[in-house]
Each structure stands twice: as C-alpha cells, then as structure tokens.
Amino acid sequence: MQVYPDTWFHDPRFIAGVIMFFTGVWINTNSDDRLRNLRRPGESGYKIPTGGMFEYVSGANFFGEIIEWAGFALASWSLPAACFAFCTLLNVGPRAIQHHQWYLEKFGDKYPKHRRALIPFVW
C-alpha cells in the first residue's frame, strides 16, 4: 500500500491530477447524458451528437474517461494507476476511432469535418 506524506496534498502532481480527474468525470458524464438524450421518446434512428466535447471529437465520452484515469494516475503517482490509465487508453481509443469512422460512413457530408476521433484538433 502506498503511503503518502502529508505534504502530498500540496504537490503539483496531486493538484493537477485531481483537476484532471474531475474534468474527465465531468466530460464523461456530460457526454453520456448527451448520448442518452439524443432521441425523444418514440423516436428511432441515429443522430449526430452535438454540444460539449462532441463539438471537437466523436468519442467525447471516451476522451473524458481517458482524462479521468490519467488524472487519477497523476494524482496517485503510482505504477498500478498508470497501468490502468494506459489500459483504458488501449481499450477505449480504438473504440473512439471505430465510432468516428462509423459516423463518417453513416452521415457522410452531414458529419462535421472539423471533428476528430479522440483528441481535439489532433486525432
């Protein structure tokens, strides 16, 4: 078990990690809410998610989850947490890419051209 000194709560790694973690939680839950509310009761079919991080990436919920666990790894500064964050990236990263490709195929020219798969403005 990791034992942290009392000064750890003032360490920049801990502070940045906590900020990243809660930012990731917010992005993840906000994105999941947007996905759940895409259709009104009785509606069917697929829609393009909008708002929040969906303005930048197709896999906004996946992006949030990666940020969340990377923040946890930074705040805890432990190898197991870093491995978990890395495995999260390896698990949800390809899913985000697959979702992005599906959206492009399904919606064609209607899908926002500036939107990336997982990392805003990059990839």
CA distance 44 to 8: 51
> For 75-105, how does the pLDDT look when each residue is reduced to its tens digit (9 = 90+)?
999 999 999 999 999 999 999 999 999 999 9
Please give the C-alpha separations between residue 7 and each of 11, 37, 83, 109, in angstroms, as whole numbers.
7, 43, 25, 53
Domain boundaries, the chain: 10-37+53-110
On whether the CB atoms of residues 15 and 64 are closer than 8 A, the answer is: no
Other beta carbons less than 10 A from residue 122's beta carbon: 9
| 1 — pLDDT class (breaks 50, 70, 90) | confident
On whether the CB atoms of residues 20 and 73 are closer than 8 A, the answer is: no
- Which of these, 100, 89, 49, lies nearest to 65 by C-alpha position? 89
What's the predicted TM-score (pTM) here?
Answer: 0.91
> For 21-63, how does the pLDDT look when each residue is reduced to its tens digit (9 = 90+)?
999 999 999 999 999 999 888 888 899 999 999 999 999 999 9
